[in-house]
């Protein structure tokens, strides 16, 4: 292995994203060859890296899972009050974490992986990766409200205007929305600006990966074709 920056190495080990790796390094819980690591440090295969006393290794091949998150399951790893946590629900034999959250009351496709570099690439809003949702509201959609959301609406709570997005009305109370950003509870906030309350929210696609026939609580490993395309669309070499 060529020498790489420590935060990138930790991400490749599936410990966390590069951003979170920087925080761990700053906290002093990352050691290289028994000594406290500092930002910007590079490591190679000859180095021993530990996080909170546990040695970490880069896997030979990373795993990516497609999981149907049911309603009521929380995307968190550290909430002692959450009754159902994604990583416990899935019970996979290797440590994986999610790339992009779904709130507790939402359901649908969640990608999980042990590749922090992939998570980092997927989470960067500048890349504009598409995510598709089926949205059910409390009443019939008015054309003007749909048009407003397509153009972008201002979210007062976040002090931010949403990007233009694709919206197809597929039922009186049902929309198919395709977003290229992931603001906190974005769809619910967007619909609220138009006076609508969301009764059902399901994510059906993330970039090139479809929810397909998965049922709530089920997961599957990506096919090699899906995996290769996902990495390439995220600007990474499959590994």
Least confident of 33-42, 86-95, 160-169, 225-234: 86-95
Pair 57, 13: CB distance under 8 Å: yes
CATH 3.30.70.1560 residue ranges for the chain: 130-206
Count the alpha carbons within 13 Å of 203 in the hemisphere toward its beta carbon. Answer: 31
Per-residue model confidence (pLDDT) at position 175: 98
The pLDDT of residue 226 is above 90:
yes
Q: So which residues are the catalytic ones?
A: 103
pLDDT tens digits, 9-50: 888 787 887 888 899 999 999 999 999 999 889 998 889 999
CATH 3.10.290.10 residue ranges for the chain: 4-55
Q: Among 3.50.50.60, 3.30.70.580, 3.30.70.890, 3.30.43.10, what is the CATH number of 64-125+214-233?
A: 3.30.70.580
Per-residue model confidence (pLDDT) at position 197: 96
Per-residue model confidence (pLDDT) at position 80: 62
Per-residue model confidence (pLDDT) at position 136: 98
Per-residue model confidence (pLDDT) at position 88: 83
CATH homologous superfamily of 130-206: Alpha-L RNA-binding motif (3.30.70.1560)
pTM of the model: 0.78
pLDDT tens digits, 158-194: 999 999 999 999 999 999 999 999 899 999 999 999 9
The pLDDT of residue 215 is above 70:
yes
Q: Checking phi first, is residue 72 left (phi over 0); if not, alpha (psi -120 to 50) or beta?
A: left
Task: Pinpoint the alpha helices (H) of 57-207.
Answer: 86-90, 116-123, 143-151, 186-193
CATH 3.30.70.580 residue ranges for the chain: 64-125+214-233
> What's the CATH number for 4-55?
3.10.290.10
Pair 42, 3: CB distance under 8 Å: yes
Written as six digits, the tokens of 209 are 């990966």
């Amino acid at each position: 292995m060529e020498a790489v920056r420590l935060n990138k190495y930790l991400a490749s080990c599936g410990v966390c994203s590069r951003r979170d790796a920087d925080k761990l390094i700053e906290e002093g819980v990352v050691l290289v060859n028994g000594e406290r690591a500092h930002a910007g440090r590079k490591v190679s295969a000859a180095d021993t890296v530990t996080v909170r006393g546990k040695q970490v290794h880069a896997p030979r091949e990373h795993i990516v899972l497609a999981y149907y998150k049911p309603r009521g399951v929380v995307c968190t790893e550290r909430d002692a009050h959450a009754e159902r946590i994604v990583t416990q629900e899935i019970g996979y034999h290797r440590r994986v974490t999610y790339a992009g959250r779904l709130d507790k009351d939402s359901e649908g496709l969640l990608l999980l992986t042990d590749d922090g570099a992939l998570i980092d690439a997927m989470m960067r809003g500048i890349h504009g990766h598409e995510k598709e949702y089926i949205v059910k509201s409390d009443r019939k959609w008015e054309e003007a409200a749909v048009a407003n959301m397509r153009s972008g609406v201002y979210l007062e709570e976040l002090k931010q205007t949403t990007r233009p997005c694709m919206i197809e009305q597929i039922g009186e109370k049902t929309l198919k929305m395709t977003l290229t950003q992931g603001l906190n509870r974005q769809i619910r906030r967007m619909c609220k600006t138009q006076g609508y309350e969301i009764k059902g929210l399901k994510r059906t696609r993330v970039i090139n990966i479809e929810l397909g026939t998965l049922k709530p609580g089920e997961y599957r490993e990506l096919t090699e074709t899906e995996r290769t395309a996902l990495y390439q669309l995220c600007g990474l070499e499959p590994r």
